Amino acid sequence: MALLNSNCPDLKLVARGKVRDLYEVDEKSLLFVATDRISAFDVIMKNSIPGKGKILTEISLFWFDLLKDVLPNHLITAKFDEMPEKVQKYRDQLEGRSILVKKMRVVPIEAIVRGYITGSGWSEYKKKGTICDIPLPKGLVESEKLPQVLFTPSTKADIGDHDENIHPSKMVEILGDKELAEKITKSAIELYTKASDYAASRGIIIADTKFEFGLDEDNNLVVVDEVLTPDSSRFWPASKYEAGRAQDSFDKQFLRNYLESINFDKQSSIELPQNVVDDTLEKYKEAFLLLTGRNVSL
């Protein structure tokens, strides 16, 4: 059963994001619910991708476990029987797509890490020879592996607005804390490097990804939100990779390409055709199987 919007009146709704609904459970914990909504170009589409939220949840849990030695995360439990009673009463809606997490002070930065030149990075490089105003060697081609992994932060925009790519030095200004900025940079690159090495062994190139961080009660840096999903990353099949062109992908690029082909105005929510819904879901399922070696239960 597809879930476009969760409805849990006995829980306090804190926010509805592009994909996740966020509820306050008590003074120390939150419930993240991954719906089946899908967005592209910061626009939420009218219809959903049935089961997508469950796949995103399972992928995040997989990475939380694999990367916990690099940096701790905010997970309390994803086992539904371990959740508070007032959450369990909404089992029909929430099971398989929810995680109970610790409340954190969220850092107001999107921590983007790039291993390959693509997307907005490629667009900027063609114009200025830079990504986030970081100079790069001349002569790079689309989808080429970068000489070194780049940390390119962006601001966190409100829903409907666009995140803005910024130079890493601007992040220091926004945070007002050079040590924290350095810790975020180092941690994001370490997380990406471990994940991309693992994914490469499974036939997937992680071209780029986005992390979000929080600070716990003791001011320790913690990974929050989703991690390395097809919604927050570009996953390419290694067997079809070829620098110098756009790549096949396991992520939302398929949807973006469709929207570009119909001259989507990047503002209006539209109904996606069934074949686009089906093909997008297959991409997500394939990515999950390759990464984990198992099929997701929808």
Per-residue pLDDT of the chain (298 residues; tens, 9 = 90+): 789 999 999 999 999 988 999 999 999 999 999 999 999 888 999 999 999 999 999 999 999 999 999 999 999 999 999 999 999 999 999 999 999 999 999 999 999 999 999 999 999 999 999 999 999 999 999 999 999 999 999 987 665 556 788 999 999 999 999 999 999 999 999 999 999 999 999 999 999 999 999 999 999 999 999 999 988 999 999 999 999 999 999 877 778 889 999 999 999 999 999 999 999 999 999 999 999 998 877 7
Strand-pairing partners, residue 151, are: 113
- Half-sphere exposure of residue 188: CA atoms within 13 angstroms, side-chain side: 28
Please report the pLDDT score of residue 157 as a whole number: 65
pLDDT of residue 22: 97
Q: What pLDDT, on a 0 to 100 scale, did the predictor assign at position 203?
A: 96
- Closest to 226 measured CA to CA, from 252, 262, 256: 252
Dihedrals phi, psi of 166, to nearest 5 degrees: -135, 155
Rounded Cα distance between 74 and 86, Å, is: 20
Pick from 284, 180, 267: which is nearest to 232 by CA? 284
- The reported pLDDT for the residue numbered 156 is 77
H, E, C per residue of the chain:
CCCCCCCCCCCEEEEECCCEEEEEEECCEEEEEECCCCEECCEECCCCCCCHHHHHHHHHHHHHHHHCCCCCECEEECCHHHCCHHHHCCHHHHCCCEEEEECCEECCEEEEEEEECCHHHHHHHHHHCEECCEECCCCCCCCCEEEEEEECCEECCCCCCCCCECCHHHHHHHHCCHHHHHHHHHHHHHHHHHHHHHHHHCCEEEEEEEEEEEECCCCCEEEECCCCCCCCEEEEEHHHCCCCCCCCCCCCHHHHHHHHHCCCCCCCCCCCCHHHHHHHHHHHHHHHHHHHCCCCCC
The pLDDT value recorded for residue 251 is 74
Residue 17 gets the label, from left (phi > 0), alpha (psi -120 to 50) or beta, of beta
Alpha-carbon gap, residue 145 to 268, rounded angstroms: 34
pLDDT at position 295 is 83
pLDDT attached to residue 161? 57
**What's the distance, CA 249 to chain centroid?**
15
Q: How many C-beta neighbours within 10 Å does residue 98 have?
A: 27
Query: What is the pLDDT, as a whole number, of residue 158?
Result: 62
Asked if 74 and 63 count as a contact pair (C-beta separation under 8 A), the reply is: no
- The answer to whether 12 and 27 have CB atoms below 8 angstroms apart is no
Q: Which two tokens stand for residue 2?
A: 């597809």
Q: The whole model's pTM is what?
A: 0.93
